[in-house]
């Protein structure tokens, strides 16, 4: 025959059920003298009574004599990080092949080759095998879901990765009417973050990323112009 909970504990038990509390997420485990037990965030002694808090302001009050023990619960262990599957590198493109891939992708979306090179430098430093902490992969650091949406079947192939990343950057440039700073911010932090803050999000990483890409783009264009001027003399 199942044991019935004392009526005065029903409110506390219901509160824990609603909050989804369990021993793994609580801070204290309370054992009652009647054999029942419950979990709470903290307790507070009020005279000869004990308040068992299930939230910041929610609590159940019991007589001290009804409580057999209160034990501190250890923090649950953090789940181990899930290692990303290693990239299967098909071919690491040479400098000439890389330029050709960028030229093809740039021509397909009318995006400056030097801008694509600047994004790749900031994203992966031209590494085909780069994997970010968040799981973004390859040269332009495509997340698996983004790669799937873009029709990239193999992020380890430089041509597919660059084509997918360029298509994504093109869609962002169109979304923000060729506002490069906003497009880069969205590439780094996501369009939702740009919409939330009505501009470049106040994230240190994102602002540094936008500045880094734009400075690299300016440097590359300046160097290219200087080279062209010298060659034309």
Query: Which helix (H) or strand (E) segment is 157 a member of?
Result: none
Compute the half-sphere exposure of residue 193: CA atoms within 13 Å on the CB side of its CA. Answer: 16
How far is it, in rounded angstroms, from Cα 99 to Cα 211? 23
Q: How far apart are CA 139 and CA 116, in angstroms?
A: 10
Nearest to 6 by CA among 48, 49, 66, 70: 66
The H-or-E segment that residue 107 falls in is helix 95-109
CA pair distance 87, 154, nearest whole angstrom: 10
Catalytic residues: 123
């Amino acid at each position: 025959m199942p044991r019935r909970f004392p009526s005065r504990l029903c409110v506390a038990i219901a509160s824990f059920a609603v909050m989804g509390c369990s021993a793994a997420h609580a801070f204290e485990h309370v054992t009652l003298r009647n054999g029942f037990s419950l979990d709470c965030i903290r307790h507070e002694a009020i005279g000869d009574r004990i308040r068992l808090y299930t939230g910041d302001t929610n609590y159940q009050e019991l007589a001290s004599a009804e409580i057999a023990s209160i034990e501190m619960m250890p923090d649950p262990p953090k789940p181990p990080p899930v290692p990303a599957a290693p990239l299967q590198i098909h071919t690491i493109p040479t400098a000439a092949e890389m330029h050709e891939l960028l030229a093809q992708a740039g021509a397909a979306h009318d995006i400056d080759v030097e801008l694509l090179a600047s994004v790749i430098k900031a994203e992966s430093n031209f590494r085909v095998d780069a994997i970010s902490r968040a799981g973004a992969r390859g040269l332009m650091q495509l997340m698996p879901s983004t790669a799937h949406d873009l029709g990239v079947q193999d992020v380890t192939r430089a041509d597919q990765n660059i084509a997918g990343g360029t298509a994504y950057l093109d869609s962002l440039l169109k979304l923000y009417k060729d506002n490069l700073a906003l497009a880069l911010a969205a590439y780094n932090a996501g369009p939702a973050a740009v919409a939330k803050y009505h501009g470049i999000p106040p994230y240190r990483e994102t602002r540094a990323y936008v500045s880094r890409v734009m400075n690299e783009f300016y440097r590359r264009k300046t160097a290219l112009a200087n080279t062209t001027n010298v060659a034309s003399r």
